[in-house]
Amino acid sequence: MESEMSDIKESLDTSINSQAFGRAVKYTTVPTSDEQAHCEFFIKQLVDQAKLCHLSDEEFKLFLGLKLTSDMVHPALNQWWIAYSKTKSGDVWTEIYDNFKDRFCNRTQRELVDNLFEESERADGESVKAYAIRLQTILDDIDVPDHQGVVIFKRGVRHARAESCLDNTDKELTSISDCMKLLRTRQIRLDTASYGSLEQASKSLFRGPSPTCNEFPLWIYTTVRTWTSSYGTSAANHEYACL
């Protein structure tokens, strides 16, 4: 048993050290409720991030296990994972996924969750303020906890300077409201429509970085294609990053 746990830990450590695995973990919330809508959203979010980061079936399993053994996870989900992972089926990702869906998800609500997931990112031309208000309304409809809302907001804001500010702060962000307050203190234009498309990023790339834009990650100018492929349609907007 100790040998088996050691092997699992070694495999987990290897995956965590990979950038792709780390991104998937960072942008997936921990399910703090066992309500059907929460579980539907969680597993869809997890699968979406895992596919986006090209994780293997083994990493899929480790990814789910990491989330369901968090201190914040709902006890029912944690107990299910501990029990099911010890079974023969617990070694096969597709069977793990199917069992989770059968156990915790109400299939009649999938359309609602699909819509929620699709609407959780800021649209091109939508201001950060409008996005925050819209997202908060969506999350309130299914009672998503504030701290999970922060993770979803960070993932979906699609605004280079806002992302940089939210990721590089010592302030405790416990709600979307906290995020907006922080962005205001950094004098980010929240009422102005901005874009997160590859086209906008490419235009910014040819202009080159401004020497006064200290908060914007310089590496984006040389790795914009890699960055956008990792985060879907999300990309840097130098024009707004440097305002």
Query: Nearest CA to 37 among 134, 129, 107, 137?
Result: 107
On average, the pLDDT of the chain sits at 75
Q: Which of 171, 151, 161 is nearest to 128 (CA)?
A: 161
Give the range among 64-78, 148-162, 182-196 with minimum mean pLDDT: 182-196
Lowest mean pLDDT among 145-149, 199-203, 235-239: 235-239
82-102 residue pLDDT tens: 999 888 888 899 999 999 998
Question: How high is the pLDDT of residue 145?
Answer: 86
More confidently predicted of 216 and 112: 112
Q: Is the pLDDT of residue 36 over 80?
A: yes
Question: Residue 137's pLDDT band (boundaries 50, 70, 90)?
Answer: confident
pLDDT score, position 192 = 84
Question: Whole-angstrom Cα distance, residue 16 to residue 81?
Answer: 19
Nearest C-alpha neighbor of 64 from the set 93, 41, 40: 93
Q: What is the rounded CA–CA span in Å between residue 131 and residue 122?
A: 6
Non-local CB neighbours of 235 within 8 Å, separated by 6+ positions: 158, 160, 196, 197, 198, 200, 201, 224, 227, 228
Residue bearing the bigger pLDDT, 30 or 237: 30
Tokens 């806002």 correspond to 162
Write down the pLDDT at residue 195. 66
CB 210 within 8 A of CB 242: yes
Determine the distance from the C-alpha atom of residue 209 to the mean position of all C-alpha atoms in its chain, rounded to a whole number. Answer: 27
- pLDDT digit string (tens) for 174-202? 999 999 999 999 999 898 877 653 334 44
Q: Check: CB of residue 236 under 8 Å from CB of residue 204.
A: yes
